Structures are given as structure tokens and as C-alpha cells.
Structure 1
Amino acid sequence: MDATLGAVSQWLADADPRPANAWAEWEKHGIALLPLGRRFDAVRVPAARLHAAAGSDQPRIVADALRSWLEGPVLRDLRSSLGPYYVLIAPDAEWSGPEERLSTNTYLGVPRPGHPTMLTRWIIELQTSGRLCDPRHLRALLATTDPLRAVGRR
């Protein structure tokens, strides 16, 4: 494992009060249930909403759109084609959008960086410890979905 990937993995593992638990879960299952509210929170965004904002449901196009708009880590639940996206934000970041913010007393299944799983996948991996999405950018991206849907109905 390269040093950057190792540092990012450790930063994520440190979300758990017992980081060794995260490492053990990653070793055994490829995914660890990490508590939110300590290192990061997550905004759960329905797939249809992000696909509308990206103008596509094609994984590469969606990833490119998210990378350019959000500049931070995003996960996706892959258990169904409607699986939501989870945009990681700082616990103290302001979020006022209609999408659900997940925080304290909630756990999120997080794959080990650099190791995709069948259940959850990094769409945009965390590149630097602590560099999370700016919720203002997420709000701006999601604000494009309703106008795009209106244009598509004409």
C-alpha cells in the first residue's frame, strides 16, 4: 500500500474509537462500519437525483461530474441500481438541503480505499486525509436537477 493510501485509510479507521476494528473489518469483509459524526458525516443523495444532475446514469460520466463539482469523496451503495450516493462532509459543515444528513449515532459502510467491494464502492476516493466535500458545492450541483428535468419533459 502506498503512503498516501495508507494515511487516508488510517484517517478513516480513526473515525472508530477503536481503529483496529476498522482494519479487522476491512481485512475480513473489505468494508467497515464506521461511526459518523466524529471524522465525517454523510449526505445521502438518491441515485436518480445525482444522475439527473450529471445528465447520465453512466458510471464514468457521473464520476466525472461529481469529481468536477464536489472535489471530495463520494461512496455509492451498489446493492441495487437505485442505490444512493453518500457525499462525505465535515461534521461541523452546514447542510440545509432536503437530502438526509447522516451523523452521530449512525454508521456507514466504508470500503477500504483502493479495494472496491460488491456492496459499496468509492465513486470519488478520499485523496487526502480530512479533505471532504464542500456542502455548498453539493447544493449547487443538486440545484441543477429540477431545471434539467423540466427541460427534458418538453
Structure 2
Amino acid sequence: MPAPRSNPQTQPPLTEQELLAAACCLAEADPSPGTVWEAWERYGVALLLGCRFDAVRIPAEQVHDVVGSDAAKTVAKVLTAWLDGPVIRDFRSRIGPYYVLIAPGAEWDGPAERLSTGTYLGVPRPGHATTLSRWVVLPPYPGALCDTQHVRTLLAANASLRTVR
């Protein structure tokens, strides 16, 4: 299995200012930022129309196989080290998928589904917990996105593990 890009350390907690900056960046990614803020206040999650980011949907089983655990802290440590960018988990079911945020123009030929322009994604407000979805890895700075090469490597490691088993 390929090694993660760096030591799997948890992401240092973001300050309130950093969380607000990340929230502002996400809200402004939507054509109607005011609606995003209203949804966050009311539901804790907002449906954002992808325009400043796309998302790669990865089934939870694949992530857990690569990480070797389904423990939230372990998954967060490994994904922080491996992807170095924002990841959201859907918690509407026990097997809810992970959404890795990538640049809209980034090349993607990987096996996982890409959600792009015209697709809505449930995005929780940074720094606020919700039962529907949760940040696994917060954006380390406003506008941060994952590199698709790192996502491909993660999925290739999963495919290798499945072949070995």
C-alpha cells in the first residue's frame, strides 16, 4: 500500500476566524450565498451548487478498507495526511459515502463518481456539528481543495487491497 503523503497527524483546530473564513468561501461558492447562510442556521447543512468545487463520491467501505478502520478519528488522521484537503461524510446512513472536494477543472479519470456543475452537495457549516453530514477534514484554508492525484492513489490502494484479499 502506498504511504500517505505525510505523517498522519490530526488537523490542528481552526480558529473561529478561520472557520468563518472557510464558511464565507463556501457560501460564496453558491450563486445565492444568503440562502446558504439561512440553511446553515436552520438545518446545519446547506445544499451547495458546485461551481467553485466538484466532489468525488467514495463509498465508506472503500475508505475504511484503505484506512484499516472505520473509527472517525483514525479516518480523519489518515485522510488529512493523504489528501491534505476538505472531505465531508454523509451520515444519513451507517454506510454513508465520503465526498472529497476537488477543483472543478481538475482532470478526473478515477473509478469513483464525480459530482460537478449542476449537482447539489449537502455541506455542513464549518465548525458546527450536524447529524446529516460532517466535515471529516475541514478546509485547511479558504478555497483549499484536494489534488485528484492523491484521490487516485487512495482509490488505487483500495483496489490493491481488494486484489490481495
TM-score (norm 1): 0.94
Note the C-alpha offset of 1:58.
1.5
CA distance in 2, matches of 1:60, 1:139: 22
CA distance in 2, matches of 1:15, 1:55: 34
Alignment correspondent of 2:76: 63
Taking the TM superposition and a 5 Å limit, the aligned residue runs for 1:1-154 are 2-36=16-50, 38-151=51-164, 153=165
CA distance in 1, matches of 2:142, 2:56: 19
Which amino acid in the other structure matches residue 84 of structure 1? P
CA distance in 2, matches of 1:15, 1:44: 19
CA distance in 2, matches of 1:60, 1:4: 21
Unpaired runs of 5+ residues, structure 2, are 1-14
Aligned residues: 151
Note the C-alpha offset of 1:122.
0.3
Note the C-alpha offset of 1:75.
0.3
CA distance in 2, matches of 1:16, 1:57: 32
Which amino acid in the other structure matches residue 19 of structure 1? P
Q: Percent identical across equivalent pairs?
A: 56
CA distance in 1, matches of 2:140, 2:40: 18
Q: Any idea what SS the aligned residue of 2:22 has? A: helix
The RMSD of aligned alpha carbons is: 1.2
Q: Any idea what SS the aligned residue of 1:109 has? A: strand
Q: Any idea what SS the aligned residue of 2:66 has? A: helix
Unpaired runs of 5+ residues, structure 1, are none
Which amino acid in the other structure matches residue 75 of structure 1? I
Note the C-alpha offset of 1:139.
0.6
CA distance in 1, matches of 2:163, 2:116: 33
